[in-house]
A and B are shown apart, each in its own frame.
Chain A
């Protein structure tokens, strides 16, 4: 079946540090890949997405590239801010069951001033 493996957290960084959160997946075919962010006590917000190999999703300074050869979709940001502190989820949605999402375990990011 489909699965998503995320880098274990928690991750603690200083403001303006470089962020990488690793994400790899297992799926048949060509799934769509997503990163969601969840702030404390809130629901999910779509951060970025990519629907085919070599696509790069980007939003609010975050980027992730769909790498089919390594089945990865690592999240990066060049300079984090305190307001980026949240839980980040990597997820996929397979072609064969569109809309049904498989999530990674989530990575908690804390950015200190």
Chain B
């Protein structure tokens, strides 16, 4: 059973467009992380959100944690080809393990 559902699974857009990817669960998380992974590489941590309703910005990326701490979204403004990659959300329920979604594979075409 996948605790974290990510949508869409695949997304192909043109450079300059905006996009939002979603991470949803029926479970409450103590924290949630977003990672970006390129082929053959390990995931790179983008952000950690902890408080319900929290919004964090990282340049053109905006992350939001749901009020109930069960869901999150990642919005990218004016996407660039360098944003291409697999975006993974991961939720922490216990102190020692992260539960990952299957990821959203983003392709930004020049």
Chain A complexes with chain B = no
**Residues of chain A at the chain B interface (Cβ within 8 Å):** none
